[in-house]
Structure 1
Amino acid sequence: MQQWKINIVVLWIGQFFVNAGMTMIIPFLSLYLKQDLGLTDTHKIGVWAGLIFAANFLTSFIFQPIWGKFADKYGRKMMLLRSGFGMAIVMVLMGFAQTPLQLLLLRLLNGTISGFNPAAISLAASATPKKSIGFAMGTLQSGQVAGTILGPFIGGLLADSVGYRPIFYITGALLFLASLFATFLIKENFNREEANKKPDISVIAGFIQLSKFKPLMALFTVTFLLQFAMMGPMPLMPLYVQELHGSTVNLAFWAGFVSSITGISNMVASPLLGKLSDRIGSNGILLVCLLGAAVMLIPQAFVSTVWQLIVFRFLLGMFMGGLLPSVNSLIRKFTPDGMESRAYSFNSSTLALGNMLGPIVAGALSGNIGIQGIFIVSGILLLFNVLWVWTTLYRKSRGSKTSSTT
Structure 2
Amino acid sequence: MQRWKVNLAVLWFGNFLVMSGMTMITPFLALYLKTDLGLTNEHEIGVWAGLIFAANFATSFLFQPIWGRLSDRYGRKIMLLRSGFGMAFVMVLMGFATTAWHLLALRMLNGVISGFQPAAVSLVSASTPKERMGFAMGTLQSGGTAGVILGPLLGGMMADTFGFRPIFYITGTLMFLASVLSWVMVKEKFDRSAAAKAPQVSIIKGFQELIVIRQIPVLLTITLLIQFAMLSPMALMPLYVEKLHGTTHNLAFWAGLVGAVTGLSNMLFSPLLGWLGDRIGAKTILIISLAGSAVMFVPQAFSTSVGELLVYRFLLGCFMGGLIPTVNSLLRANTPDGMESRAFGFNSSAMSLGNMLGPVVGGLLSGPFGIEGLFLLSAVLLLANAVWTFTALRRAASPNAGRRLA
TM class by smaller structure: 0.7 to 0.9
Once the two structures are overlaid, the 10-residue window that deviates more, 262-271 or 161-170, is 161-170
SS at match of 1:42: coil
Q: Distance in 2 between matches of 1:360 and 1:35?
A: 21
Match of 2:398 in 1: 396
SS at match of 2:14: helix
Work out whether residues 68 and 344 of structure 1, in 8 Å CA contact, stay in contact via their aligned partners in 2: yes
Q: Distance in 2 between matches of 1:402 and 1:27?
A: 42
Work out whether residues 336 and 401 of structure 1, in 8 Å CA contact, stay in contact via their aligned partners in 2: no
Match of 2:121 in 1: 121
Work out whether residues 16 and 144 of structure 2, in 8 Å CA contact, stay in contact via their aligned partners in 1: yes
Match of 1:8 in 2: 8
Q: Distance in 1 between matches of 2:217 and 2:301?
A: 29
Aligned length: 400
Q: For residue 264 of structure 1, what is the amino acid of its counterpart?
A: L
Q: For residue 201 of structure 2, what is the amino acid of its counterpart?
A: I
Q: Distance in 2 between matches of 1:267 and 1:274?
A: 11
- Following superposition, the deviation at residue 297 of structure 1 comes to 2.9
Cα distance change on mapping 1:176 and 1:240 into 2, 3 Å: closer
Q: Distance in 2 between matches of 1:312 and 1:93?
A: 36
Cα distance change on mapping 1:260 and 1:389 into 2, 3 Å: same
Q: Distance in 1 between matches of 2:349 and 2:304?
A: 36
Q: Does 1:361 align with 2:368?
A: no
- Following superposition, the deviation at residue 60 of structure 1 comes to 1.3
Matches within 5 A, 1:13-162: 13-29=13-29, 39-40=37-38, 42-43=40-41, 46=45, 50-97=50-97, 101-159=101-159
Cα distance change on mapping 1:312 and 1:214 into 2, 3 Å: farther
Q: Distance in 2 between matches of 1:55 and 1:15?
A: 21
Work out whether residues 152 and 257 of structure 2, in 8 Å CA contact, stay in contact via their aligned partners in 1: no
Matches within 5 A, 1:171-250: 171-237=171-237, 248=247
Q: Distance in 1 between matches of 2:171 and 2:247?
A: 33
- Following superposition, the deviation at residue 287 of structure 1 comes to 2.0
Q: For residue 397 of structure 1, what is the amino acid of its counterpart?
A: P
- Could you tell me which runs of 5 or more consecutive residues in structure 2 were left unpaired when the two chains were aligned: none
With normalisation by structure 2, the TM-score equals 0.85
Q: Identity percentage over the alignment?
A: 60
SS at match of 1:285: helix
CA root-mean-square deviation: 3.2
- Following superposition, the deviation at residue 290 of structure 1 comes to 1.9
Cα distance change on mapping 1:387 and 1:194 into 2, 3 Å: farther
Q: Any idea what the Cα deviations from partners look like across 1:209-238, whole Å, max 9, x if unmatched?
A: 322222222222222222222222234446
Work out whether residues 139 and 270 of structure 1, in 8 Å CA contact, stay in contact via their aligned partners in 2: yes
Q: For residue 376 of structure 1, what is the amino acid of its counterpart?
A: L
Q: Distance in 1 between matches of 2:247 and 2:98?
A: 36
Cα distance change on mapping 1:80 and 1:370 into 2, 3 Å: same
Work out whether residues 10 and 181 of structure 1, in 8 Å CA contact, stay in contact via their aligned partners in 2: yes
Work out whether residues 241 and 251 of structure 1, in 8 Å CA contact, stay in contact via their aligned partners in 2: no
SS at match of 1:144: helix
Work out whether residues 195 and 338 of structure 1, in 8 Å CA contact, stay in contact via their aligned partners in 2: no
Work out whether residues 160 and 250 of structure 2, in 8 Å CA contact, stay in contact via their aligned partners in 1: no
Q: Distance in 1 between matches of 2:286 and 2:27?
A: 33
Q: Any idea what the Cα deviations from partners look like across 1:149-204, whole Å, max 9, x if unmatched?
A: 32232223344555555443333233222212212211112222332343322223
Cα distance change on mapping 1:31 and 1:338 into 2, 3 Å: same
Q: Distance in 2 between matches of 1:360 and 1:55?
A: 9
Cα distance change on mapping 1:28 and 1:230 into 2, 3 Å: closer
Matches within 5 A, 1:300-311: 300-301=300-301, 309-311=309-311
Cα distance change on mapping 1:167 and 1:310 into 2, 3 Å: closer
Work out whether residues 218 and 388 of structure 1, in 8 Å CA contact, stay in contact via their aligned partners in 2: no
Once the two structures are overlaid, the 10-residue window that deviates more, 358-367 or 39-48, is 39-48
Cα distance change on mapping 1:218 and 1:382 into 2, 3 Å: farther
Cα distance change on mapping 1:51 and 1:185 into 2, 3 Å: same
Q: For residue 333 of structure 1, what is the amino acid of its counterpart?
A: A
Match of 2:337 in 1: 337
Matches within 5 A, 1:248-397: 248=247, 252=251, 256-301=256-301, 309-394=309-394, 395-397=397-399
- Could you tell me which runs of 5 or more consecutive residues in structure 1 were left unpaired when the two chains were aligned: none
Q: For residue 319 of structure 2, what is the amino acid of its counterpart?
A: F
Once the two structures are overlaid, the 10-residue window that deviates more, 394-403 or 330-339, is 394-403
Q: Distance in 1 between matches of 2:130 and 2:154?
A: 36
Cα distance change on mapping 1:313 and 1:167 into 2, 3 Å: closer
- Following superposition, the deviation at residue 33 of structure 1 comes to 6.3
With normalisation by structure 1, the TM-score equals 0.85
